[in-house]
């Protein structure tokens, strides 16, 4: 398996633009997680899905952020409109079983810069 | 609110040394994860613990539920172990990360 795939790897955009980050989890994994990492705040959980259903989105910073998982092999994280404070590395991870009691496999991350 | 503290903040060791990294938390937990983040930014999950001890190669992770404390041990450290080690705790339906410890192993 190729592991968790994220695209794009780098994104530079201007304030106000819409940004869409994509994630393909490992085949057969039932849980998917979106994280954000900044120097100031470290790693933060944004949202996670079990069997394509969003379970906890309390970490999503505000309404400008939305995440979907239309099927077991694809998820998106959208920011609209983007702001400079959204600049961060966004990681997607998946695990074989539901929840946080299992090993997670991380994607390489998407480095987002909002100018 | 769960507080997760990691110590020491930064650590420099000589190749071959035995290294211990600590993680303390403040509430009862369901699971604890140790993550390794390489200088290039990639994150690898090292261990998931809910009790006891786990070993993988030169790495050993222990957790003491009563004392709300976990340790990550590296035996015979090597420069390729240089990374940031992050503790993450799952408790009360919330995942809380420690700030991470930067380990540098000198040849």
Does the pLDDT value for residue A101 go beyond 90?
A: no
Q: Residue B83's CB: how many other CB atoms inside 10 A?
A: 22
In order, the DSSP letters of B58-87 are: TEEEEEETTTTEEEEEESS--GGG-EEEEE
Does the pLDDT value for residue A29 go beyond 70?
A: yes
Mean model confidence pLDDT for chain A: 94
Closest C-alpha among A24, A19, A33, A31 to residue A1: A24
User: Which of the four pLDDT bands, split at 50, 70 and 90, describes residue A86?
Assistant: very high
Determine if the peptide bond prior to A59 is cis (ω within 30°): no
Report pLDDT digits (tens) over A30-60: 999 999 999 999 999 999 999 999 998 888 9
Does the pLDDT value for residue A81 go beyond 90?
A: yes
User: Which of the four pLDDT bands, split at 50, 70 and 90, describes residue A67?
Assistant: very high
Report yes or no: B87 at the A interface, CB cutoff 8 Å. Answer: no
Q: Nearest CA to CA, how far is B19 from chain A (Å)?
A: 23
Q: Which of A90, A100, A102, A107 is the best mutation test for B, with the most CBs of B within 10 A?
A: A100
Does the pLDDT value for residue A99 go beyond 90?
A: no
User: CB pairs below 8 Å between A and B: how many?
Assistant: 43
Please compute Rg for chain A using Cα positions. Answer: 13
| CB-CB neighbors (< 8 A) of A45 in chain B | 95
pLDDT at A56: 87
Report pLDDT digits (tens) over A16-27: 999 999 999 999
A28 DSSP 8-state letter: T
Q: Nearest CA to CA, how far is B12 from chain A (Å)?
A: 21
Q: Nearest CA to CA, how far is B105 from chain A (Å)?
A: 22
Q: Block means of pLDDT (10 residues each) for chain B, length 107 residues?
A: 85 96 90 93 92 95 95 96 95 88 96
User: Which of the four pLDDT bands, split at 50, 70 and 90, describes residue A1?
Assistant: low
Residue numbers of B between 29 and 68 with CB closer than 8 Å to A = 30-31, 33, 41-45, 48, 50
């Amino acid at each position: 398996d190729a592991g968790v795939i994220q695209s794009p790897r780098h994104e530079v955009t201007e304030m106000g633009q819409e940004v869409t980050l994509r994630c393909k989890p490992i085949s057969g994994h039932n849980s998917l997680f979106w994280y954000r990492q900044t120097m100031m705040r470290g790693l933060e959980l944004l949202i996670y899905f079990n069997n394509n259903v969003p379970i906890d989105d309390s970490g999503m910073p505000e309404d400008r952020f939305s995440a979907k998982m239309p099927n077991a092999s694809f998820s998106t994280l959208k920011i609209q409109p983007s702001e400079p404070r959204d600049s961060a590395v966004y990681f997607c991870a998946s695990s074989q079983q539901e929840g946080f009691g299992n090993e997670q496999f991380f994607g390489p991350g998407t480095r987002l810069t909002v100018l | 609110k769960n507080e997760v503290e990691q110590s020491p903040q930064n650590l420099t060791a000589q190749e071959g040394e035995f290294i211990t990294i600590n993680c303390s938390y403040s509430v009862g937990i369901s699971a604890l994860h140790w993550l390794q983040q390489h200088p290039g930014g990639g994150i690898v999950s090292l261990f998931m613990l809910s009790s006891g001890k786990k070993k993988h190669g030169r790495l050993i992770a222990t957790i003491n539920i009563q004392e709300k404390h976990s340790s990550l041990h590296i035996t015979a450290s090597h420069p390729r172990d240089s990374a940031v080690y992050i503790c993450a705790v799952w408790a009360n339906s919330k995942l809380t990360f420690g700030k991470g410890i930067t380990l540098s192993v000198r040849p």
